[in-house]
Amino acid sequence: MPDPVVVSVALCTFRGEHYLAVQLDSILAQTRLPQELVVFDDDSPDGTWALLESFAPRIRAAGIRLVMHRNAANVGYIVNFERALRATAGEIVFLCDQDDLWHPTKVERFAAEFERRPDLLMLHSDARLVDDQGASMDCGLFEAFEVTREELDAVHAGDMFEVLLRRNIVTGATMAVRRSVFAGEFIVPEGWIHDEWLAMIATSMGRVDCLEVATIDYRQHGNNQIGARRRGFVERLTGGGMSRFEFMTRTLLRTQTLLELAEAGQLELDAPAMQLLRDRLTHARFRATPPRHIHARLAAILREYATGRYSRFSNGPRSAMSDLLLLRK
């Protein structure tokens, strides 16, 4: 029987007084408690810190090592998560948002997978979407993201890298990672969000997987500050108000960053993965800088489509048509 893994939770807070108590209660109600809870508050001006202090005796009485830190000034949610992760001590670290609710067996289910599979570096799951009052929205996170059967099968088969090159399907609030993923100096590159970057690092290093079950209630509300992660959710569904130029340029810059880091040895990619990344960059560059004249653009799109890259890295005919018409998708 494998040795039990030591579990830490990295919880970041900012203006969390309305929902934080529910989340803390759900952590304390786990069928398998974490050994450590690390809380980094990003200089909340409301009652968040006082609420954390009121929970501290209960957390410690449950046998959980509690680390609480309050930033002297607001640093933003990405840097706050970087710092919280570095402050943890466990082998397996769960990322935790302040306004969700963990299902009782979340830690137990995740820890069992990590113990059973020593090569597993990251695990994430589906989530149940709830409104600001905690009522079900009758929709799961994977459903809202339109995660396909093909994508899930690819993840289970160990082909997550290609899935992530096309789009991110990982949400930090449902994620746990092995410590080796962020060992050393963990800094999120510009243009990336911490959970996306953790997923990319883990995928480049080894095996990642997902559970096709909801392990949290993922709260949707307009006043959410754990920051752009929820804005990221809305953006994925609506486009987030980004212009086509902004979106394509952002995709191009992110892909360029990936290749630069891989070539510098900061991402551990084999030769086929490097070629895949270069193909992704070629496609991103094409979509970001299409010919201006529609006839030249049509001819170029047909050539690009013939390579298979529209289907592999975008949405196939829909993306090709949007490029012809210079639309957002």
Identify the pLDDT of residue 237: 42
Identify the pLDDT of residue 307: 98
Identify the pLDDT of residue 240: 54
Identify the pLDDT of residue 223: 53
According to CATH, the superfamily of the domain at 7-238 is Spore Coat Polysaccharide Biosynthesis Protein SpsA; Chain A (3.90.550.10)
- What's the CA gap between 271 and 243, in Å, rounded? 34
- What's the CA gap between 44 and 46, in Å, rounded? 6
- Burial call 260-277: b when 16+ CB within 10 Å, e when fewer: ebbeeeebebeeebeebb
Token pair, residue 259, equals 């290749």
Query: Is the CB of residue 139 less than 8 Å from the CB of residue 106?
Result: no
Output phi, psi for 188, to 5 deg: -80, 125
- What's the CA gap between 34 and 94, in Å, rounded? 9
Number of residues in the chain:
329
- What's the CA gap between 148 and 182, in Å, rounded? 29
pTM: 0.90
Using CB atoms within 10 A of its CB, is residue 61 exposed (0-12), middle (13-18) or buried (19+)? exposed
Identify the pLDDT of residue 3: 83
| 3-state SS, one letter per residue, for the chain | CCCCCCEEEEEEECCCCCCHHHHHHHHHCCCCCCCEEEEEECCCCCCHHHHHHHHHHHHHHCCCEEEEEECCCCCCHHHHHHHHHHHCCCCEEEEECCCCEECCCHHHHHHHHHHHCCCEEEEEEEEEEECCCCCEEEEEHHHHCCCCHHHHHHHHCCCHHHHHHHCCCCCHHHCEEEHHHHCCCCCCCCCCCHHHHHHHHHHHHCEEEEEEEEEEEEECCCCCCCCHHHHHHHHHHHCCCCCHHHHHHHHHHHHHHHHHHHHCCCCCCCHHHHHHHHHHHHHHHHHHCCCCCHHHHHHHHHHHHHCCHHHHHCCCHHHHHHHHHCCCC
Query: Is the CB of residue 87 less than 8 Å from the CB of residue 8?
Result: no
Q: Where do the CATH 3.90.550.10 domains begin and end in the chain?
A: 7-238
**What type of residue sits at position 189?**
P
pLDDT one digit per residue (tens) for the chain, 329 residues: 778 999 999 999 999 999 999 999 999 999 999 999 999 999 999 999 999 999 999 999 999 999 999 999 999 999 999 999 999 999 999 999 999 999 999 999 999 999 999 999 999 999 999 999 999 999 999 999 999 999 999 999 999 999 999 999 999 999 999 999 998 778 899 889 999 999 999 999 999 999 999 999 999 986 543 333 444 444 444 445 678 889 899 999 999 999 999 999 888 899 999 999 999 999 999 999 999 999 999 999 999 999 999 999 999 999 999 999 987 65
Q: Which residues pair with 92 in a beta bridge?
A: 7, 178
Identify the pLDDT of residue 328: 61
